[in-house]
Amino acid sequence: MFQRLTQTEQYWTKDFAIESEDLEHVNNRLLEEERPLSIEELAMAVMRRRVDQEENELRRSLGKGTVYDPSEHYAIGDTLVFPALGFAVGIVCAVRSGSNPEYGEFDVIQVEFKRNNRKREFASGLAKPHALRAATQALLLPPKGLLSVEDLWRQYGKLVRRKLVGALRHQSDLIEMFGLWFVKGLLTEVGVGYLNIAEAILDINGGGPISTSELLKDLGLPHESREELLEYSLNYALAQDERFDEVGAAGKVMWYLRRLEPADVLYPPRRLAYSAVPYDRSLLNLNLRKLETELDDEWSGGWEPAEEPREVTFVLTYPHWRQGTLPLSSVMAPLFPTSYEAPRIRCTLRDSHTQEEIETWVVWEGRFVFGLGAWYRANDLPIGAYLHLSPGSEPGEAVIRFGTRRSQREWVRVAQVQNGQLLFGMQKRSVGCDYDDMMMIHMDDPVSADEVWLRIQERSWSLAETMVRLFPELAKLSPQSTVHAKTLYSAVNMVYRCPPGPIFAELVRQPCFVSMGENYWKFNPNLWSGG
């Protein structure tokens, strides 16, 4: 049976490459549609063209002569096409009688092939079925199980799409906006006057976010083009103007005035930034590795987001408590919306207790979600509080809650700054939420902690030196003078942003830190070498 090349894995995974004819087809498709098209639509159009092209070639080849059929009779001078021989075309130049006990009487035709002038003999007038006839019928009537373009797309579409994107990005006459492609020269012109009006509309509405369709209603652009193309043209013009930011999730274009965005969104806080500390992860034993995974710091490991959103429980650490942010760890990332291009995405969190909507910003590059400061303060949440995030009813929507309990005074760690040094003590404070006792720290004057952090930055203290200065303060709170690795991680991050891996590696590497088992450590100042 003849196998169409476009039906094979080999064709799409190894042989397929974008050709100039494919790009011409894409351009023609965009011109015919007169609207922006997604890369999925364009890639499928390319695949459909290849399949149709092969079928057309097949028909053209079959049209060059009579399709050879062993059961038919032929005369000298007949032009025949042999599908089983790669659609070779030949002319019958002789006919003689033949005989075979299995097939009975038949003719033998001699055929001279055009492409190499070679002559071969074939049977004709056979009364019994022949394998070559079956092969021919398989071409004339497509075999059962022939994959449709949609079937091929499901199997190989991602490969075709990736190759097509790479080729289209080298086409200067095409542009891509939010996953849609179009011919640049066909855009509707949007002058600076219209952009000034758009700025005023956003300004009146608190900066945004406002959809492109809503902006169009008040702009008064000429409606000579289709609405879809007008929106695309306006999106392109707004994107070229630094006054505007696109802040919508993927599939939802929303605009905001950049000058009215929160400063911490435009310029990610230094307190949340992590300057990578080289360390040998093989130093961490199984217990420390499990603890590192449990803490799920957004700067730990290779940061590969989980595939599906699910409920996540995490502990509020000092940097995020101080900045009013949530971490975008690999486990938490699927709960928040993504975008084709926007570095900042406006989204809404919902308080599961009050159903209040909390306006937030997702900053993927900085790996944080901004906008929780007022919510933390309103609920009197301390460092170390357990927070729970779960998927909302809509894609990209998340619900946040904390475990409430009757407020009562408890002995907790309290941090304070004296003479430029961060000190720790135990005091009674009211606590009205569930919390991790090993990471709980109360801080009444965060501004003073900021000063310590700045001083450490200015003096370029190493991670190990920072740990050595904090450890004795934490150790004095325990009768055994021990400090749990989680407690040290929580305290270090008040003045030195660092994920748990490097901290745990320093505990193992530095002789002055002595393991007491179960992730508890002691400090021997006599073994501190200062390195």
Q: What is the per-residue pLDDT across 425-449, written as a single tens digit (0 to 9) for each?
A: 999 988 888 999 999 999 989 999 9
Mean pLDDT of 77-104: 81
278 within a domain of the structure (yes/no): no
- Report pLDDT for 322: 95
What share of the chain in percent tops pLDDT 90? 47
User: What residue type is 42 in one-letter code?
Assistant: L
Residues 6+ apart with CB under 8 A from 208: 202, 247, 254, 255, 256, 257, 260, 346
Among 356, 381, 406, the domain boundary falls at 406
Does residue 331 have a pLDDT over 90? Answer: no
Mean pLDDT of 190-198: 92
Tokens of 295: 């803490």
CA-nearest of 166, 138, 187, 179 to 46 is 166
DSSP helix/strand/coil, 361: strand
Residues 429 and 391 in one domain: no
Residues 393 and 418 in one domain: no
CATH code of the domain in which 231 resides? 1.10.10.10
Within 10 A of 471 (CB to CB), how many other CB atoms are there? 24
471 within a domain of the structure (yes/no): yes
| H-only helix segments in 347-420 | 373-378
300 within a domain of the structure (yes/no): yes
Residues 175 and 191 in one domain: no
284 within a domain of the structure (yes/no): no
CATH code of the domain in which 304 resides? 2.40.330.10
Residues 101 and 236 in one domain: no
- Report pLDDT for 2: 54
Among 261, 281, 300, the domain boundary falls at 261
CA distance from start to end of the chain: 74
Residue 302: domain span:
291-406
DSSP helix/strand/coil, 229: helix
Does residue 142 have a pLDDT over 60? Answer: no
Average pLDDT, the chain: 87
Tokens of 15: 């042989």
Residues 401 and 413 in one domain: no
pLDDT in tens, 471-502: 999 999 999 999 999 999 999 999 999 999 99
281 within a domain of the structure (yes/no): no
CA separation for the pair 33, 31 (Å, rounded)? 6
- Report pLDDT for 3: 61
CA separation for the pair 114, 422 (Å, rounded)? 93
CATH code of the domain in which 427 resides? 1.10.10
Among 149, 182, 215, the domain boundary falls at 182
Residues 216 and 332 in one domain: no
CA-nearest of 385, 472, 461, 483 to 422 is 472
Does residue 154 have a pLDDT over 50? Answer: yes
Residues 156 and 177 in one domain: yes
Residues 101 and 163 in one domain: yes
447 within a domain of the structure (yes/no): yes
pLDDT in tens, 362-413: 998 899 999 999 999 999 999 999 999 998 877 667 899 998 877 788 889 9
- Report pLDDT for 41: 93
Residues 119 and 153 in one domain: yes
Does residue 1 have a pLDDT over 50? Answer: no
Mean pLDDT of 243-270: 90
Mean pLDDT of 4-22: 87
Does residue 212 have a pLDDT over 70? Answer: yes
Structure confidence at residue 340 as a pLDDT band (50, 70, 90): low
pLDDT in tens, 48-70: 999 888 878 777 766 777 788 88
Domain count, the chain: 4
SS (H, E, C) 401-423: EECEEEEEEEEEEEEEEECCEEE
214 within a domain of the structure (yes/no): yes
Residues 332 and 413 in one domain: no
Q: What is the dihedral of CA 414, 332, 365, 297, to 10 degrees?
A: 40
276 within a domain of the structure (yes/no): no
- Report pLDDT for 228: 84
For the whole model, what pTM was predicted?
A: 0.75
CA separation for the pair 521, 480 (Å, rounded)? 10
- Report pLDDT for 225: 67
- Report pLDDT for 512: 94
- Report pLDDT for 108: 86
* Dihedral sign from CA coordinates of 436, 442, 443, 444: positive
Residues 12 and 134 in one domain: yes
Residues 298 and 318 in one domain: yes
Residues 6+ apart with CB under 8 A from 251: 179
Does residue 132 have a pLDDT over 90? Answer: no
